[in-house]
Structure formats: C-alpha cells, structure tokens
Amino acid sequence: EPEVTQTPSHQVTQMGQEVILRCVPISNHLYFYWYRQILGQKVEFLVSFYNNEISEKSEIFDDQFSVERPDGSNFTLKIRSTKLEDSAMYFCASTETYEQYFGPGTRLTVT
Amino acid sequence: ELKVEQNPLFLSMQEGKNYTIYCNYSTTSDRLYWYRQDPGKSLESLFVLLSNGAVKQEGRLMASLDTKARLSTLHITAAVHDLSATYFCAVDNNFGNEKLTFGTGTRLTIIP
C-alpha cells in the first residue's frame, strides 16, 4: 500500500542552523501539507502546497520557513535559522481528494 | 477561525467499560476525521465522516457525525488495553483539499 515517507526520522540541530526536512508524498497525490506537533500538544497546520505554489499558510509559517518541490517526488520544508521553540514533530501529509495521509514524522530537536 | 474542541482531555477507564469522546467544532463542515496516535508515532486514520448522520464502526470503535449540532462522537465499546492511545478529531473547511484543524486530543488509558 502506498505511503508517505519522511527523512530523517530524528534531526538534532543547534539554534541558528538551517534544517531541511524531506518528504515523499504518495505518487498520484497533488496536494501536500506540513503540520507540526509540539510534544504533548495538538497537531498544528503549517502550510499547504498545490501546483508548485503555497495554497495557504498559518501564522506559524513565517519568513524562516519555506517549502519546495524540487523534483517530481520530494517535498521539503526548510527552516532557515532554527529557534528552540521549533523543536517539535513535523508531519508531512498528502491527498488526492480530501482524506490526508500522514508520514511517520521527523522529530526536530533544537539545542 | 475554526475551533475544534474535544473532551475529555484525559480518560482513564477500565477494560470492558464503554465510554464516549466528544468533538465540537465551530463552523459548518460536512467532513470530520478521527485519528489515533500512539506515543512518538504518526497519525493513523480511523474514520472519515462525510455527511450529517454518518456513522462508521470498526471493531470496538464507532464514530458518528451531527453537522447541525457541529458534534462528532467516538464511542468505545468494551474497552481493551490495545485501545490506549491519543485520539484526535479534525475538521476541514469543506471546500476540498483544505488544511485540517485538529482538536486538542483525548489521551485514553485503559486499565486492566
């Protein structure tokens, strides 16, 4: 069964460093999303992406964040200069219609 | 802004008992999703409810949707330890391919 994959599973970085989180959505899906979940809290929407451009972004998704679909399969989230409060689990999701399928997540730890 | 609230936030119940988790949301939507999350893991889709009055069942879990009351319930029947997890409901804006707004989650612990 097709699934969304994410790499790395865990990333540790120092404050101020840039990180890139990678996702491979399900191959026939056209809509892509990033969500984050701070430990013990609910899942929060960051950004949605369709047709090679951002469809919607949340207040969390400020100028430090960017997304890209560099080729036909990968979907990346870049954080330019990480802050301590960026420590969270980041989930990628994709959909063909409306039901979103989530990847296993990348745990980002900023020290 | 769409708000989604769940209650209770924490639920500890004995094996064999029944209980219901409630999910209220603040705007009109005909689509509601239930997810399960085990500690440190991703979100596993449980149910997709697509219209008013929709009811779906899988094993000991049953979900329903009342769009007029803006309420969904997740009912657990004769709980077993394996159901211990955090359960989230989520709502989209009904326009297709929209972001999901998640509830606060209900952490369910089943006690033997």
Nearest to B26 by CA among B7, B4, B48: B4
- Is B112's pLDDT higher than 90? no
- A5 vs A11: CA distance, rounded Å: 15
- Is B28's pLDDT higher than 90? no
Return the pLDDT at A106: 97
Rounded to the nearest angstrom, the minimum Cα separation between A16 and chain B is: 25
Helix (H) or strand (E) holding B6: strand B4-7
- Is B53's pLDDT higher than 90? no
Return the pLDDT at B96: 64
- A86 vs A42: CA distance, rounded Å: 15
Q: What is the sign of the dihedral through the CA atoms of B83, B86, B90 and B96?
A: negative
Does A42 contact B96 at a Cβ distance shorter than 8 Å? no
* Residues in A touching B33 (Cβ below 8 Å): 99-100
Return the pLDDT at A97: 87
Look at strands B43-49 and B32-37 and give their pairing. antiparallel
Rounded to the nearest angstrom, the minimum Cα separation between A46 and chain B is: 9
Per-residue tokens: A102: 């989530």
Beta bridge partners of A13: A110
Per-residue DSSP letters for B72-95?
Answer: EEEEE-S--GGG-EEEEEEE--SS
Please indicate if any CB of chain A lies within 8 Å of the CB of B100: yes
- How do residues B78-108 score in pLDDT, each as one tens digit? 999 999 999 999 998 766 678 999 999 999 9
Please indicate if any CB of chain A lies within 8 Å of the CB of B3: no
* Residues in A touching B43 (Cβ below 8 Å): 43, 91, 102
- A56 vs A109: CA distance, rounded Å: 26
pLDDT in tens, chain A (111 residues): 789 999 999 999 999 999 999 999 999 899 999 999 999 899 999 999 998 999 999 999 999 999 999 887 899 999 999 999 999 999 999 999 888 999 999 999 999
What whole-number percentage of chain B has pLDDT above 70? 96
Return the pLDDT at B30: 76
**Selected residues 30-89 of chain B with any CB under 8 Å from a CB in chain A:** 31, 33, 35, 40-43, 45, 48, 88
Please indicate if any CB of chain B lies within 8 Å of the CB of A87: no
- Chain mean position to CA A19: 11
Nearest to A107 by CA among A15, A18, A17, A6: A6
Q: What is the sign of the dihedral through the CA atoms of A21, A97, A39 and A16?
A: positive
List Cβ neighbours of A95 (8 Å cut-off, separation of 6 or more): A29, A30, A31, A33, A101, B97
- Is B52's pLDDT higher than 90? no
